[in-house]
Amino acid sequence: MKVFKFGGASLKDSQGVKNVAEIIASEPPRNLLVVVSAMGKTTDMLERVVWSAPSKNDFQAALNEVKQYHSQIIDVLCLDSPVIDEVDMLFNEIENEVSSQRPADELYDQVVSKGELISSLILHHYLLSKNIANRWHDSRNSIHTDRNFREGRVDWSKTSASIEMLRPILKDNIIITQGFIGKTEGGLTTTLGREGSDFSAAIFASCLNASSVVIWKDVPGVMNADPKRIPAATVFSELPFKEAAEMTYYGASVIHPKTIKPLANKGIPLFVKNFSNPAREGTKIHECTVDKLPPLIVFKDNQCLISCKVTDYTFISEQQLSIIFHALSELDVRLNLMQNSAISLSFCVDFRENKISKLIERLQQHFEVFYNTGLTLITVKNYDEITFEKYRKQKGVLLEQSSRSTLQVLVK
Ligand code: ASP
Ligand code: MG
């Protein structure tokens, strides 16, 4: 049993859909579960639909953008009635949801989840039109979550029982399903957090004890840096689970951070492969040891450095630290880096304006608070002499920290 996951970039246009179909057709017609994301930038477009809901004109314009994008793809793929009707129905549901007065996050999930439903329907029908047999499956009937909208937490025991029911179908079929989405006990749609389709693939694979997962991407595999920033970046041929998990923690966006754990627990290897060049090896992430990994460089933009300074000539105490950590935990803000001195604690967090201004307000009740936004956190894991010196000595370093294996610098 294998699980494939195709991201938005693989399905961004009609050529992408054809390409994905070719990859699927080259596999045996059974024991394959395919998880898809929304096409291209659909999720961003659907977010604009949600945010624009209060204004009728803006809402219609935003929704039309999504409609046109998909109908053009459907046209070029020469698909007709069933898929056009099914997709129209989903757009009607969006219009109904928007007038339903739901709380913001709940509404978000009901609307944004349509992207994956649409892309999976298009792929399903396109495959049928090419005589590639497959079953469409609504993954909300398999992935059960709580009511934590936009970041649904998976109920693993219910989920694994539901996924188990797919096994007899998979014996003679390929299943096409959606990433990113799930359902609450009460039947409302939830999403698993942005870029969560990788995690969905890992959930299906873990519950089915799959032999492997392949994430098909527009890059040649997992690279030691973002090739857009560092053109000399190279592809890892293999990586230990632990290394891959840490990369995602530091902000490498190649795989969703929650993906590794369920696979590592079951020892299911994860391949990251290039969808426009399927013959290429890509990266195998599994239980292994790799000697002399090259330095791995991760850039995390949009960082905010916050410094809390005591105001009364005392030193920063454990009690004061606990006030800071309490505020962070209550507001669910994750620290990316921290450093303390006699009179202050400084830390770096992702800048989400809403949350961060609340955090600063709270901290100001106890400390003198300084902050800087628009920063980049650079992490160099497994550094060597050259990278160590290069990143420390660049201009605009505000904070620096290193251990025996990892260097982090925060720069303007
Ligand atoms: N479509 C969703 C997003 O763009 C989920 C995913 O692509 O993994 O965040
Ligand atoms: Mg995506």
The residue whose CA is least distant from atom 2 of ligand 1 is: 195
Query: Cβ(199) to ligand 1 under 6 A?
Result: no
Express each pLDDT in 31-88 by its tens digit.
999 999 999 999 999 999 999 998 889 999 999 999 999 999 999 999 988 999 999 9
**CATH code for the part of the protein at 2-210:** 3.40.1160.10
Q: Pick from 261, 168, 169, 278: which is nearest to 218 by CA? A: 278
Q: Percentages helix, strand, coil for the chain, rounded to the nearest 5?
A: 40, 25, 35
pLDDT given for residue 81 in this prediction: 84
Residue 313 pLDDT class (50, 70, 90 cuts): confident
Residue-wise pLDDT for 187-206, tens only, equals 999 999 999 999 999 999 99
Q: Is pLDDT of 312 > 90?
A: no
Residue 136 contacts residue 126 (beta carbons within 8 Å): no
Instruction: Quote the CA–CA distance of 249 and 336 in Å, as a whole number.
Output: 9
Query: H or E segment at 360?
Result: helix 353-364
Name the residue type at position 322.
S
Could you list the beta-strand ranges (E) of 23-150: 32-36, 135-136
pLDDT of residue 311: 84
- Dist. CA 228–CA 34, nearest whole Å: 29
Point out the ligand 1 atom lying closest to the alpha carbon of residue 7: 7
As a whole number of Å, the end-to-end CA separation of the chain is: 47
Convert 132-147 to b/e letters by CB count within 10 Å (16 or more is b): bebebbebbebbbbee
> In the structure encoding, which two tokens stand for residue 9, read together?
């970039």
- Alpha carbon distances (Å) from 111 to 71, 211, 376, 378: 18, 34, 32, 35
Spatial strand order in the sheet of 406-411 = 335-340, 344-350, 296-309, 368-381, 406-411, 397-402
Q: CA 280, CA 304: separation in Å to the nearest integer?
A: 39
Q: Are 206 and 266 in contact (CB under 8 A)?
A: yes
With a 6 A CB cut-off, is 303 part of the ligand 1 pocket?
no
With a 6 Å cutoff on the Cβ, whether 40 touches ligand 1 is no
- Contact between 119 and 42 (Cβ < 8 Å): yes
Give the pLDDT score at 156.
98
Per-residue pLDDT band at 173 (split at 50, 70, 90) = very high
Closest ligand 1 atom to the C-alpha of 197? 8
Q: Tell me the pTM.
A: 0.91
The predicted structure's pLDDT at residue 251: 86
18 SS3 class: helix
Going from the Cα of 179 to the center of ligand 1, the distance in angstroms, rounded, reads 8
SS3 93: helix
Task: Find tokens 């709940």 and name the residue.
Answer: 106
User: What are the residues facing 273 on neighbouring strands?
Assistant: 216
Interior CA angle at 84 toward 90 and 103, to 5°? 10
Share of the chain above pLDDT 90, in %: 90
Q: Is 142 in the pocket of ligand 1 (CB under 6 A)?
A: no
The pLDDT of residue 253 is 83
Euclidean distance between CA atoms 276 and 32, whole angstroms: 20
DSSP 158: H
**Cα distances (Å, whole numbers) of residue 48 to 55, 62, 88, 111, 327:** 12, 6, 19, 10, 31
CA 386 to chain centre: 32
Q: Nearest C-alpha to atom 6 of ligand 1 is from which residue? A: 195
Q: Rounded to the nearest whole angstrom, what is the distance from the C-alpha of residue 9 to the centroid of ligand 2?
A: 7
Residue-wise pLDDT for 366-376, tens only, equals 999 999 999 99
The Cα–Cα gap between 228 and 237 comes to 20
pLDDT in tens, 202-249: 999 999 999 999 999 988 999 999 988 999 999 999 999 999 999 998
Give kind and range of the element (H or E) at residue 386.
helix 385-392
Ligand 1 close to Cβ of residue 43 (< 6 A): yes
To the nearest whole percent, how much of the chain has pLDDT over 70? Answer: 100
Q: Does residue 146 have a pLDDT over 90?
A: yes
Domain boundaries, the chain: 2-210, 296-411
Superfamily for the 296-411 domain:
VC0802-like (3.30.2130.10)
Residue 3 is inside which H or E element, if any? Answer: strand 2-6
User: Which ligand 1 atom is at minimum distance from the Cα of 41?
Assistant: 4
Q: What is the pLDDT of residue 212?
A: 98
Q: Report how far ligand 1's centroid is from the alpha carbon of 247 (Å).
A: 19
Q: Provide the 3-class DSSP secondary structure of residue 196.
A: coil
Average pLDDT over residues 373-400: 95
Residue-by-residue DSSP string for 187-235: S-EEE-STTTHHHHHHHHHHHHT-SEEEEEESSSS-BSS-TTT-TT--B
